[in-house]
Structure 1
């Protein structure tokens, strides 16, 4: 009888699917779900919606190119003189950590596309020495960027989810997205320790 229970416990333990160390996020309140990939397949329904914007090289960048990649996204504007340079510095640290990894990408969306055309973004990239082919600075119609930011990336959490597109979008968040377009992390893009955590979480996602 004792051996029977030991075998039963062993079989149950072996049949349990490992819980992901990186949480899944499904709603704007960023309530974390620490569940297995199998559970996430049915419980996590939110995905980043498809998008297409022009990058700093005047090339149309489509979100399809991010499929199968781990990527981070943030929202900036080139005339920002305090928070955005800090965020860009932390994004550069993330870029450097994965500079030779083609399965990692970074995307920075401008929140002032009426100022930040492709030429301006190109100059911004030169100023901050953004030379990696894996980091795209994107511009396009304001309404499209703002809707994507708030309803796909939850850039302003629940407070900003239903804001009108005329209301200015400004956030310090860096959002981590996995290979299937699901949100897996949210970090303060001005804090080095948060950037460090983002890097570590990305490494774990690449191993899943």
Structure 2
């Protein structure tokens, strides 16, 4: 998928997220984002058609403590995922500071987790990620910082509908989007927010509350 496709898709998504927030409190429910399909099954002799939604697939990455974590560590949790690199000179500092605001707001709530994927597979080792997390102010396991192979990290980014690319012409050598992606307990995408935009980060906090009530 080319970069413009990501921008067009997530632009429409952000419009949908904004639109849903204009409804009354009793009607608020976050959209389920991504492609969907139908499948048939037989129940008591009757054909039932189910909708199958896009989900984040199983994954395994190495975290800041040099421990392998997987999608299983996020079972039964709502979590926010993003993509960054530690020496990013452009959007990452703002994006991560805004992510930290959400982390601080939900401090002590173990139903909410955070997952930052480094797209710099060459430099961002676990020890580098550990130092970065400490400087940022992350002091518990609710927020994981992970690294992996280029294939695995960039492959999972596509599943979150986030554009990432190694690009020597881009600031810091990597081109990527600064979306904070909201994932529900069923590993489905329920929203994506520009992590550099205060209004969208505020919307994320509101939507996170709605999702927790829904769950």
TM-score (norm 1): 0.76
Unaligned runs of 5+ in 1: 1-17, 29-40
Match of 1:109 among 109, 117, 123: 117
In 1, the alpha carbon distance for the partners of 2:112 and 2:210 equals 12
The answer to whether the 8 A contact 1:99-1:132 is kept is no
Match of 1:60 among 57, 63, 68: 68
The answer to whether the 8 A contact 1:111-1:169 is kept is no
How far apart are 1:155 and its partner, in Å?
0.5
Deviations 1:99-139 (A, max 9, x none): 11111100000001111010110111122111132000000
Unaligned runs of 5+ in 2: 1-25, 37-48, 168-173
How far apart are 1:166 and its partner, in Å?
6.1
How far apart are 1:50 and its partner, in Å?
0.7
Q: Which has the higher strand share?
A: 2
Secondary structure in 1 matching 2:53: coil
The answer to whether the 8 A contact 2:84-2:119 is kept is yes
> Which residue pairs with 1:72 in the alignment?
80
In 1, the alpha carbon distance for the partners of 2:82 and 2:63 equals 14
* RMSD, aligned α-carbons: 2.1
In 2, the alpha carbon distance for the partners of 1:166 and 1:130 equals 27
Match of 2:183 among 167, 177, 197: 177
The 1:188–1:182 alpha-carbon spacing in structure 2 relative to 1, beyond 3 Å, is same
TM-score (norm 2): 0.74
What is the number of residues matched between the two proteins? Answer: 171
How far apart are 1:169 and its partner, in Å?
4.8
In 2, the alpha carbon distance for the partners of 1:76 and 1:70 equals 20
In 2, the alpha carbon distance for the partners of 1:199 and 1:179 equals 17
| Structure 1 runs, 4 residues or longer, greater than 6 Å off | none
In 2, the alpha carbon distance for the partners of 1:47 and 1:112 equals 25
The answer to whether the 8 A contact 2:32-2:53 is kept is no
> Which residue pairs with 2:100 in the alignment?
92
Deviations 1:128-174 (A, max 9, x none): 11113200000011110101101x10113xxx7xxxx7665511111
In 2, the alpha carbon distance for the partners of 1:27 and 1:187 equals 19
